[in-house]
C-alpha cells in the first residue's frame, strides 16, 4: 500500500456512545455507563451487570462489587423511610393503611440506590485498577 493511500485513511471511530473518553464518576453512577467508553451498557437487568460492555467489550464479570452498596443502602433507605413516615404521620395523621405507600417508595429507592452504588464501585475499581492482593514472589 502506498504512503499516500495510508495517509488518507481516517482514524478509528470513537466508541458507540460517541463520547470518546471515559465518563465522570457521577455520570457513570447515575446513568449506568461503562467506565471505559461511556456507553450505557453496564446493566443487563434492574441491578444485574451485563457480562461485558456491548460497545468496547470490557469484561464486567471480572469486577467484584460484593455487598458494599447493599450494606450502606440498608441504613440510608431505612433512615429515609422511617423519618418520612414519622413526619408524614405527624403532619397529616392519615389512616393506618395510607402508610402502605412506603412499600413502593422503599422498593424504588432500593433498586435505584443499588444501581448507583454498584456502578460507582465498578467505576472506582476500573479507574484505580483494583485487583485481589497478591504475595510478592
Instruction: Transcribe 5-49 into DSSP letters.
Output: HHHTSPPPPPPTTS--SPPPHHHHHHHT--TTT--S-SBSSSSPB
pTM for the full predicted model: 0.74
**Contact call for residues 50 and 43 (beta carbons, < 8 A):** yes
Q: Packing angle between helix 68-92 and helix 102-127, nearest 10 degrees?
A: 150
Give me the pLDDT at residue 107, please: 95
Beta bridge partners of 49: 43
Q: Per-residue pLDDT tens, the chain, 137 aa: give them.
A: 444 434 443 333 344 444 457 889 999 999 999 999 999 988 988 888 899 999 998 888 888 888 888 888 999 999 999 999 999 999 999 999 999 999 999 999 999 999 999 999 999 999 988 877 766 66
User: In the structure grid, which three cell numbers stand for residue 98, read together?
Assistant: 395510607
Domain map (residue ranges) of the chain? 9-127
DSSP 59: B
φ/ψ of residue 74, rounded to 5 = -60, -45
C-alpha closest to that of 73 among 44, 106, 46, 103? 106
**Contact call for residues 28 and 43 (beta carbons, < 8 A):** no
Give me the pLDDT at residue 137, please: 63
Amino acid at each position: 500500500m502506498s504512503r499516500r493511500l495510508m495517509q488518507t485513511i481516517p482514524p478509528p471511530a470513537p466508541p458507540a456512545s460517541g463520547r470518546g473518553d471515559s465518563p465522570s464518576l457521577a455520570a457513570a453512577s447515575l446513568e449506568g455507563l461503562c467506565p471505559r467508553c461511556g456507553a450505557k451498557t453496564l446493566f443487563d437487568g434492574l441491578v444485574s451487570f451485563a457480562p461485558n460492555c456491548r460497545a468496547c467489550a470490557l469484561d464486567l464479570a471480572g469486577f467484584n462489587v460484593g455487598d458494599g452498596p447493599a450494606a450502606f443502602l440498608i441504613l440510608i433507605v431505612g433512615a429515609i423511610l422511617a423519618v418520612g413516615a414519622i413526619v408524614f404521620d405527624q403532619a397529616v395523621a392519615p389512616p393506618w393503611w395510607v402508610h402502605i405507600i412506603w412499600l413502593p417508595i422503599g422498593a424504588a429507592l432500593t433498586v435505584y440506590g443499588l444501581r448507583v452504588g454498584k456502578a460507582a464501585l465498578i467505576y472506582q475499581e476500573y479507574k484505580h485498577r483494583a485487583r485481589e492482593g497478591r504475595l510478592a514472589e
